[in-house]
Amino acid sequence: MLEEVILGGTCLHRGCIPAKAFLKSADVYDEVKRAAEFGVDIGGEVTFNYDTALQRSLKIVEGQYKGLLYLFEKKHKIPVFMGRGMLLDANTVGVTPNDGSSPLSLRAKNIIINTGSRPRPIKDVSYDGLRVINSDHAVVLETLPASFIVRGGGATGVEWASTYHRYGSKTTIVGNIVPMEDHEVAQQLTRSFQRQKMDVVVGARPTAADIDVGKKGVTMRLKDAKDKESVVKAECLLVAVGRQGNIEDIGLETVGINTKEDIIPADDMQRTNVQNIYAIGDVNGKQMLAHTAMHHGIIAVEHIMGLNPFPLNEEMNSPTCTYCEPEIGSIGLSEKTAQERGHNVKIGKFPMKPNAKATIEGHTDGFAKVVADADTKDLLGIHIIGPHATELIAGGAVARLLDSTPEELVIAVHPHPTISEVIGEAAHDWLGHAIHI
């Protein structure tokens, strides 16, 4: 194993885990402020301590990291070489060690490239870690600015906007909200953010010419989807306009590995065009999610071992999760994409509001949506926005993998009272007979 920075990569140290720890702090703060609704009276003012949230996040990351080290060093005894690697030929990786010791070479019959990705900047706007930051900076930001502009409405952007807004910072999110999700999910999240009194500027695409960075903050000139012009100022700009693969200076050209823009294309077994070299995770560009990367790793290793692994259809069978408030969980095709693919699309929907458990928990924003082909009854997609959506979508993943139909979702018993009932109710609605609405 060769690692340049630290075992665990982006997800553990700079992405999924610390970001979700921050989001949990926001959730708890929300709940405590609403405690009186549940019969819990708290004397005095409820305040938020950012440093405590930061330290808790760092402690969680450290605990997970220690567990990973145990698996490598103690349980499986996997040798790890810390340093920068470069392909010297199809069977050799040259290593420049981090500790300044002499370079060395590692030889192997097969090589797996898992160099990941990094935050993409706005062209000609440099990160300084203070006024202009990305998600890497956000997880270790020592003090909480009073105001943020979050540029980008994808998963990273909406998660950090949801975090900072609920922490009490004045937050403006700029861009189309979750554009890769089903259009009704995107509309719902936009409305939810607006109801939370977050400033949302949809459709704006500011460039470096529209952004001024000074010692005290950032000014951004905007034109929204309706051509309405405005100016937004904040202490900090968080850029969340996507990620780019780490493919530079690792010897791809030496070995003749094909690239496309900033990714390394790979087949269903995660092989590059050089058959004994594999590319997994973000760097192959298929789906930039940690669980997908882990699955890619399993497929690649099993293929190397001659085990004939089942390929992963990322678009149809790998769920996406967004941990803002309200949460989003989805799998498969959106309604519009299914229509574009030529399906005779029929949908079923059920709102969170009538669901007893959602009402009990005090989170009734959202719905579940089933997308299926009216002729074949093939289940094409499930989309959930609302409480625990990121947990519920695992059931949708099983349903998609097993080629379930809406009828089978109805036959399956969803326990009461649980939020999972909205999936069964949406399937009932697809069949024309929703039960509780």
Residue 389 CA: distances (Å) to CA of 162, 301, 329:
16, 31, 5
**Range in 3-12, 271-280, 358-367, 414-423 with the lowest mean pLDDT:** 3-12
pLDDT band at 301 (very low <50, low <70, confident <90, very high): very high
* 320 falls within a domain: no
Q: Provide the domain count of the chain.
A: 3
Structure-block tokens of residue 245: 């693969």
Contact between 105 and 95 (Cβ < 8 Å): yes
**137 and 227: one domain?**
yes
Structure-block tokens of residue 147: 């105001």
CATH (domain of 234): 3.50.50.60
Once rounded to an integer, what is the mean pLDDT over residues 322-344? Answer: 98
pLDDT at 213: 97
**356 and 426: one domain?**
yes
**43 and 95: one domain?**
yes
pLDDT at 267: 98
**15 and 78: one domain?**
yes
Contacts 24+ apart (CB under 8 A), 253-261: 254/86, 254/87, 254/88, 254/89, 255/87, 255/89, 255/90, 257/87, 260/285
pLDDT band at 380 (very low <50, low <70, confident <90, very high): very high
Structure-block tokens of residue 97: 């060690």
**What does the alpha-carbon distance between residue 414 and residue 395 come to, in Å, rounded to a whole number?**
11
Model confidence pLDDT, tens digit, residues 83-133? 999 999 999 999 999 999 999 999 999 999 999 999 999 999 999 999 999
Q: Give the chain's mean pLDDT.
A: 96
**37 and 99: one domain?**
yes
Per-residue pLDDT for 4 more than 90? no
Model confidence pLDDT, tens digit, residues 391-411? 999 999 999 999 999 999 999
Model confidence pLDDT, tens digit, residues 183-206? 999 999 999 999 999 999 999 999
Contact between 425 and 432 (Cβ < 8 Å): no
Model confidence pLDDT, tens digit, residues 200-217? 999 999 999 999 999 999
**106 and 149: one domain?**
no
**Residue 93 amino acid letter:** V
**70 and 212: one domain?**
no
**262 and 338: one domain?**
no
Per-residue pLDDT for 1 more than 90? no
416 is catalytic: yes
pLDDT at 305: 97
pLDDT band at 44 (very low <50, low <70, confident <90, very high): confident
Once rounded to an integer, what is the mean pLDDT over residues 23-48? Answer: 95
**What does the alpha-carbon distance between residue 402 and residue 384 come to, in Å, rounded to a whole number?**
19
Per-residue pLDDT for 174 more than 90? yes
Q: Give the end of a domain, one of 241, 264, 280.
A: 241
pLDDT at 437: 86
**107 and 9: one domain?**
yes
Per-residue pLDDT for 170 more than 90? yes
Q: Are strands 147-151 and 236-239 parallel, antiparallel or unpaired?
A: parallel
pLDDT band at 5 (very low <50, low <70, confident <90, very high): confident
The CA angle 428-432-437, to the nearest 5 degrees, is 65
**Residue 321 amino acid letter:** C
Q: What's the pTM?
A: 0.95
* 437 falls within a domain: no
**169 and 95: one domain?**
no
More confident of the two residues 431 and 228: 431
pLDDT at 348: 98
**112 and 15: one domain?**
yes
The CA angle 43-47-51, to the nearest 5 degrees, is 140
Per-residue pLDDT for 154 more than 90? yes
Residues in contact with 200: Cβ distance below 8 Å, sequence separation at least 6, in sequence order: 172, 173, 177, 190, 193, 194
Model confidence pLDDT, tens digit, residues 218-269? 999 999 888 889 999 999 999 999 999 999 999 999 999 999 999 999 999 9
φ/ψ of residue 299, rounded to 5: -60, -45
Across 165-191, b (16+ Cβ under 10 Å) vs e yields bbbebbbbbbbbbbeebbebbbebbbe
Structure-block tokens of residue 125: 């706007």
Distance of CA 270 to the CA centre of its chain: 21
Picking from 169, 171, 128, the residue whose alpha carbon sits closest to that of residue 145 is 169
**234 and 255: one domain?**
no
* 287 falls within a domain: yes
Q: Give the end of a domain, one of 241, 267, 301.
A: 241
Q: Give the end of a domain, one of 226, 241, 256.
A: 241
Q: What SS3 state is found at 150?
A: strand
Contact between 388 and 421 (Cβ < 8 Å): no
CATH (domain of 372): 3.30.390.30
* 123 falls within a domain: no
Model confidence pLDDT, tens digit, residues 70-92? 999 999 999 999 999 999 999 99
Residue among 76, 296, 416, 428 flagged as catalytic: 416
* 436 falls within a domain: no
* 319 falls within a domain: no
Which residues span the domain enclosing 90? 2-117+244-314
